[in-house]
């Protein structure tokens, strides 16, 4: 009984770490512009597809696996950052003063557009993601264990999330991001270029999504396809709402809480309804605490 519980918690933390990284992109954009970027899950998908393509080519060229992983991650981050910069400039910036419904509909349209582009580039096939991390299982006690790949996922997620919190709270760019989230117009009068700050916010969120896409692809059966960003994107949005959308620590807490809730539901009720638990959590949160677990804390909004 104890072994099952510990193993379930480990699985939940691994998945929740990935949700938290994607949720940060949602919460940063909402915190600074007040819009929900539903295309963020597709940015994650593009990152995974680019990494898969680059890694496959480099492995065929005979490069070491670790170097392939690093180069594939860099390529995915660069492509996703350029993509998000373009999306913000072309799709969202012209609608900055429009009613909130306009950018929401635009985000959904951009999401479908990115899926269509992925279909044109990679087709409808499900591609195997190269084995870039060791899958050896380490036994902790009894039947409880964790793979090296899962350990790397948790460590990388912690490093990325800690780095983002440091950037937001300790750097000049972070202060500009927090100031822009309070009032875009006044920030401009203070000598800060809000367009550059908003573009930087999209690009940072895209870099996190690219890494999350790679980790998700390696953890979720090793298959990538044009539709793979939809469900993790939705769950990351739920995680952002759960933690208090617009609140960076809240996105981390929400991601981990959602991962644990999913794992416990799948482990003790039924794995067939694993995706349903996320939406049940969303409904419960919206009914009893619409502002999220840390929704009252606005000081750390990006």
Query: Average pLDDT for residues 31-50, to the nearest whole number?
Result: 91
Give the pLDDT score at 301.
47
299 falls within a domain: no
CA dihedral 281, 286, 290, 293 (to 10 degrees): -10
Structure confidence at residue 296 (pLDDT): 61
Neighbours of 143 (CB within 10 A): 10
Judge whether residue 99 has pLDDT over 60: yes
Whether residue 33 is contained in a domain is answered as yes
113-122, 163-172, 290-299 — which is least confidently predicted?
A: 290-299
Which pLDDT score is estimated for 226?
A: 92
Query: Domain containing 211: what range?
Result: 1-288
Q: How many domains does the chain have?
A: 1
Mean pLDDT, to the nearest integer, of 280-300? 75
> Is pLDDT at 52 greater than 50 in this prediction?
yes
Q: What is the pLDDT of residue 115?
A: 95
Q: How far apart are CA 20 and CA 230, in angstroms?
A: 15
Q: What pLDDT was estimated at residue 300?
A: 46
Residue 78 pLDDT grade (very low, low, confident, very high; cuts 50, 70, 90):
very high
Q: What is the pLDDT of residue 302?
A: 45
Q: Nearest 5°: phi and psi at 228?
A: -70, -15
Identify the pLDDT of residue 222. 75
Count the alpha carbons within 13 Å of 290 in the hemisphere toward its beta carbon.
1
Q: Residue range 290-302: average pLDDT? A: 63
Residue 62 covered by a domain: yes
Residue at token pair 């759960």:
242
Confidence band for 196, pLDDT divided at 50, 70 and 90: very high
Q: CB under 8 Å to 176, separation ≥6 — which residues?
A: 187, 192, 197
Please check the confidence at residue 274 and state whether its pLDDT lies above 90: no
Instruction: Give the whole-angstrom CA distance, residue 203 versus residue 121.
Output: 22
Average pLDDT, the chain: 88
Is pLDDT larger for residue 272 or for residue 9?
Answer: 9
Segment 165-189, tens digit of pLDDT: 899 889 999 999 888 888 877 887 8
CB 128 within 8 A of CB 222: yes
Q: What is the CATH number of the domain that holds 206?
A: 1.10.3470
Q: Which helix (H) or strand (E) holds 127?
A: strand 127-128
In a domain, residue 300? The reply is no
Determine the Cα–Cα distance for residues 270 and 144; give it in Å rounded to an integer. Answer: 20
Q: What is the DSSP letter of 100?
A: T
């Amino acid at each position: 009984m104890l072994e099952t519980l510990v193993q379930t918690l480990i699985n939940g933390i691994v998945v929740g770490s990935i949700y938290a990284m994607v949720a940060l992109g949602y919460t940063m954009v909402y915190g600074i512009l007040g819009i929900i970027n539903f295309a963020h899950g597709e940015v994650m998908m593009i990152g995974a597809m680019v990494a898969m393509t680059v890694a496959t080519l480099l492995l065929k060229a005979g490069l070491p696996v670790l170097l392939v992983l690093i180069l594939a991650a860099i390529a995915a981050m660069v492509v996703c950052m350029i993509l998000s910069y373009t999306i913000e400039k072309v799709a969202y910036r012209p609608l900055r003063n429009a009613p909130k419904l306009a950018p929401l509909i635009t985000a959904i349209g951009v999401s479908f557009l990115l899926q269509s582009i992925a279909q044109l580039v990679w087709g409808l096939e499900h591609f195997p993601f190269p084995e870039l991390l060791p899958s050896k299982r380490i036994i902790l006690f009894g039947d409880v264990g964790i793979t090296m790949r899962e350990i790397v996922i948790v460590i990388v997620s912690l490093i990325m999330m800690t780095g983002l919190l440091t950037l937001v709270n300790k750097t000049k760019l972070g202060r500009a991001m927090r100031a822009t989230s309070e009032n875009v117009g006044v920030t401009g009068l203070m000598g800060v270029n809000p367009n550059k700050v908003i573009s930087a916010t999209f690009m940072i969120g895209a870099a996190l999504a690219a890494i999350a896409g790679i980790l998700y692809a390696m953890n979720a059966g090793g298959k990538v396809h044009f539709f793979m960003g939809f469900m993790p994107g939705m769950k990351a949005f739920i995680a952002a709402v759960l933690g208090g959308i617009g609140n960076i620590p809240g996105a981390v807490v929400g991601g981990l809480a959602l991962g644990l809730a999913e794992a416990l539901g799948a482990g003790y009720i039924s794995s067939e309804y694993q995706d349903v638990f996320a939406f049940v959590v969303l409904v419960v949160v919206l009914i009893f605490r619409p502002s999220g677990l840390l929704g009252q804390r606005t000081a750390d909004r990006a």
